[in-house]
Amino acid sequence: MEDLDSGRMDSDTAARALKLSRESLYRSLKVASTSFQAINDDIVAGLSKQTLRETDSAISQIALMLGYSEHSAFVHSFSQLVGMRPCAYRAGEWGCQGSGFFGLMGGYFSRDNACSNT
């Protein structure tokens, strides 16, 4: 299932893979006190964190690999899901932003390139 490997799958595809109707899938998820979006977010966060930990790939390459069309969309999504920027996660710290103007830019221009958009 290529969609699952990239962390991208819609509920119709998931339901078909499970041989359920979409409505049955949603009912089952409701009984389990979760949602398709919550599970999908967990998968994307897990794949993102694993890739950041286990590879030296540029963050922009990871974004493309996970199906994001823009580096900034991946950074925003990761920040929302994990609570920190991808560069901070990779560095093993809660913040990679410097001071002054460059810090305000969210670390995109850090000297060590931990937050570079490449």
Q: Is residue 12 included in any domain, yes or no?
A: yes
Q: Is residue 31 included in any domain, yes or no?
A: yes
Q: What is the pLDDT of residues 42-61, one digit of tens each?
A: 988 999 999 999 999 999 99
Q: Which residues span the domain enclosing 12?
A: 2-104
Q: Which of these ranges, 32-41, 65-74, 77-86, 105-114, has the smallest mean pLDDT?
A: 105-114
Question: How many distinct structural domains can be found in the chain?
Answer: 1
Distances (CA, A) of 62 to 8, 10, 87: 14, 20, 12
Contact of 42 with 102, CB cutoff 8 Å: no
Q: How confident is the model at residue 10 (pLDDT cuts 50, 70, 90)?
A: confident
CB-count exposure of residue 60 (10 Å: 0-12, 13-18, 19+) = middle
CATH at residue 52? 1.10.10.60
Q: Is residue 66 included in any domain, yes or no?
A: yes
